[in-house]
Amino acid sequence: MNEVRTTRIIIEVKDRAFSLAVAAVGRDEAVLWIRSTITDALNDFHAFQSARTFVMLHHSRYADVDRQYLDREVLRMLGPGGQRAGIVIVGTQTLEQSLDIDADLLVTDAVPADVLLQRLGRLHRHRAGTVPTAVVLDPGNWDQSVSADGRPLGGPDQGWAWIYNPLAVRETIEWLRVQGTISVPTNVREIVELATHADHLKNRAEFYGGRWVALWQYVFGNATADAQQAQSGLIDRQLSYEQALVNERVPTRLGDGSVDVEVRGDLRSPFTQSAIDALSVRANWLRGAQPGSSANVVGIDDLGRTLLDVNGVPLAYGVEGLTLI
């Protein structure tokens, strides 16, 4: 029989959550602080720096060599046998994927149940018989996360609404407000169905009112279109190879995607000084660039970042990763 793991859930405003994290570091505990957007993660990283709290940053906008370095550093701190010194590791979804880590305290954005469960799996991961604490950042006024016409509406320090369905997030958080704890595997099916079952979400949207009904229609209309796009990219395995139509441009995941660009000039890792010869750049940053453009090194700024130009698009690369300037 699987061991039941219960986690205490605190839904807290950002300032209070920040104080809890700083206090945990003062007790020599390791804190995992996960935001939904890199912008929110960077802002919090700077706040911990200003508070003179030992902090490191981890997200997706690093060159491969630096992602590998940061993965090793996170594992050195929180992996099996890690030193677990007092530290806040600030990051995004990259911290919940493929890393065997064990934090003392988790602080996370409000997210849907399935995502939250993934993050809770990084809390006291290699311990038994404990009841850890996870702090969920209070999303505030729910109606501010949805526009009048039903579009998800993120904002400063509330980037989760750009990434996740606000209706699924609302159902998850309201369940947690009542329960105060979540037990795995006991509560898994109930909470995941609350956040993912289309008919349940439709009923809740009708209860919440017009903008939420419009959101449900928007989200599930897009889901249908996405499924149709995926179906159109399937290969008919019953046909011979020369007859099967293969569209090499079909993406393997949704979103704007990224473009790999060659670096021309001397770009070095800010951590290891290893040479970096390619960068993965958000596709929507390069909409004005010509196909096949390179990232040309053009200088160093006052912050020690390497400045790059991709056909007129200015970028910078340094300890905080790749940024658009």
Q: Give the DSSP letter string of 198-264.
A: HHHHHHHHHHH-HHHHHHHHHHHHHHHHHHHHHHHT---TTS-TTTS---TT--SSSSS-EEEEEEE
According to the model, what pLDDT value does residue 239 have? Answer: 56
**Largest pairwise CA distance in the chain:** 64
Query: Domains in the chain and their CATH numbers?
Result: 5-199 (3.40.50.300), 258-324 (no CATH)
Q: Is residue 188 within 8 Å of residue 117, measured between CB atoms?
A: yes
According to the model, what pLDDT value does residue 92 have? Answer: 96
Q: Are strands 295-300 and 306-310 parallel, antiparallel or unpaired?
A: antiparallel
According to the model, what pLDDT value does residue 233 have? Answer: 46
According to the model, what pLDDT value does residue 81 have? Answer: 84
Indicate the SS3 state at residue 124: coil
Tokens 């020599």 appear where? 28
Q: Are strands 30-34 and 105-108 parallel, antiparallel or unpaired?
A: parallel
b/e code 240-265 from CB counts within 10 Å (16+ = b): eeeeeeeeeeeeeeeeeebbebebee
According to the model, what pLDDT value does residue 227 have? Answer: 46
According to the model, what pLDDT value does residue 138 have? Answer: 97
Measured between alpha carbons, how far is 94 from 161 in angstroms, rounded to an integer? 18
According to the model, what pLDDT value does residue 119 have? Answer: 96
Q: Are strands 295-300 and 87-91 parallel, antiparallel or unpaired?
A: unpaired
- pTM of the predicted protein model: 0.88
pLDDT in tens, the chain (325 residues): 468 999 999 999 999 999 999 999 999 999 999 999 999 999 999 999 999 999 999 999 999 999 999 999 999 999 988 888 899 999 999 998 879 999 999 999 999 999 999 999 999 999 999 999 999 999 999 999 999 999 999 999 999 999 999 999 999 999 999 999 999 999 999 999 999 999 999 999 999 999 999 999 999 876 544 444 444 445 555 655 455 554 444 444 445 578 899 999 999 999 999 999 999 999 889 886 777 789 999 999 999 999 999 999 999 999 999 999 9
According to the model, what pLDDT value does residue 250 have? Answer: 44
Query: What is the per-residue DSSP string for 20-54?
Result: HHHHHHHTT-EEEEE-SSHHHHHHHHHHHHHTT--
Measured between alpha carbons, how far is 48 from 79 in angstroms, rounded to an integer? 22
Length of the chain in terms of residues written = 325
Between 198-208 and 188-196, two packed helices, what is the crossing angle to 10 degrees?
60
